[in-house]
């Protein structure tokens, strides 16, 4: 369970999240040894303060959850997040451009954000539920070219989340050149195990505490 906890991004991204809930998120991350907390940009500084003296990282999101922001807005958001103390950025790709097959646009959008925030870890959210297998391959390859260190399956706000099949597909593309974050709908230790066996190296979930406390 310690090994599992160490790859979980303990997540709270709901629109009505309160400071008290962020404190509880941080407390659970300390207690169980989660890799990071994943919060909306507004709560970066709050999470950093609650986690002071802890090895737990702070992850935030960029262009969330639709990915259809102007690139300039994403860059501004990402730079603000870096200044606020974020350690990792989960960046939603331009899904409309992906559906149109404009992979140069998808790549440049990501590249500009990544180039503006060197020193942070970047996870490209490709939102697999909207993409064909061919588009998933193209999106993963564009993210790699842009410099993303991780490919993330989902925002958790689309009509579907992570699947074992998608994690396997992404793994077949990226190999060991990038990590894979499975996220969206992961609520049990069984699902976590399946995702890890398929190739996931990070798990995003809002059910981290329940997963760690569940029977083996």
H/E element, 83 = helix 71-84
Q: Which pLDDT band, with edges at 50, 70 and 90, does 176 fall under?
A: very high
Catalytic residue chosen out of the listed positions 9, 87, 90, 166: 90
Q: Is the dihedral of CA 177, 150, 106, 76 positive or negative?
A: negative
Instruction: State yes or no: is 152 an active-site residue.
Output: yes
On the 0-12 / 13-18 / 19+ scale of CB atoms within 10 A, 84 is middle
Confidence check: pLDDT of 1 > 70: no
CB atoms within 10 A of CB 211: 22
Confidence check: pLDDT of 22 > 90: yes
The pLDDT assigned to 2 comes to 65
Average pLDDT value for residue range 155-162: 97
Answer whether 152's CB lies under 8 Å from 183's CB: yes
Rg (CA), the chain: 16
Residues spanned by the domain of 94: 2-213
Structural domain count of the chain: 1
Percent of all residues in the chain with a pLDDT value above 70, rounded to a whole number: 99
Instruction: State yes or no: is 181 an active-site residue.
Output: yes
Average pLDDT value for residue range 27-31: 98
Give the pair of three-digit tokens for residue 184: 């969206």
On the 0-12 / 13-18 / 19+ scale of CB atoms within 10 A, 133 is exposed
Average pLDDT value for residue range 179-195: 97
The pLDDT assigned to 25 comes to 98
Average pLDDT value for residue range 143-162: 98
Answer whether 140's CB lies under 8 Å from 173's CB: yes
- Each residue's pLDDT tens digit, 32-70: 999 999 999 999 999 999 999 999 999 999 999 999 999
- Each residue's pLDDT tens digit, 66-116: 999 999 999 999 999 999 999 999 999 999 999 999 999 999 999 999 999
Alpha carbons within 13 A on the beta-carbon side of 73: 10
Instruction: State yes or no: is 90 an active-site residue.
Output: yes
Catalytic residue chosen out of the listed positions 48, 74, 123, 152: 152
Average pLDDT value for residue range 192-205: 98
Confidence check: pLDDT of 215 > 80: no
Q: What is the mean pLDDT of the chain?
A: 97
Answer whether 36's CB lies under 8 Å from 59's CB: yes
CATH number at residue 47: 3.20.20.70
């Amino acid at each position: 369970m310690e090994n599992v906890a160490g790859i979980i991004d303990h997540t709270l991204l709901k629109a009505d999240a309160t400071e008290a809930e962020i404190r509880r998120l941080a407390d659970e991350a300390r207690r169980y040894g989660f890799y990071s907390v994943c919060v909306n940009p507004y709560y970066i500084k709050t999470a950093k303060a609650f986690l002071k003296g802890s090895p737990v990282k702070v992850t935030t999101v960029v262009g969330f959850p639709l990915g259809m922001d102007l690139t300039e807005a994403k860059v501004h958001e990402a730079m603000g997040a870096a200044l606020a103390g974020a350690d990792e950025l989960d960046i939603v790709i331009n899904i409309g451009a992906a559906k149109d097959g404009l992979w140069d646009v998808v790549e440049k959008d990501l590249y500009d954000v990544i180039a503006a925030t060197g020193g942070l870890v970047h996870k490209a959210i490709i939102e697999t539920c909207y993409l064909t297998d061919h588009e998933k391959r193209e999106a993963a390859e564009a993210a790699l070219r842009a410099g993303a260190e991780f490919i993330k399956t989902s925002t958790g706000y689309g009509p579907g989340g992570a699947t074992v099949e998608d994690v396997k597909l992404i793994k077949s593309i990226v190999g060991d050149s990038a990590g894979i974050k499975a996220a969206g709908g992961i609520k049990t230790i069984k699902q976590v195990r399946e995702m890890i066996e398929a190739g996931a190296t990070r798990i995003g979930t809002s059910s981290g505490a329940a997963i760690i406390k569940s029977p083996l």
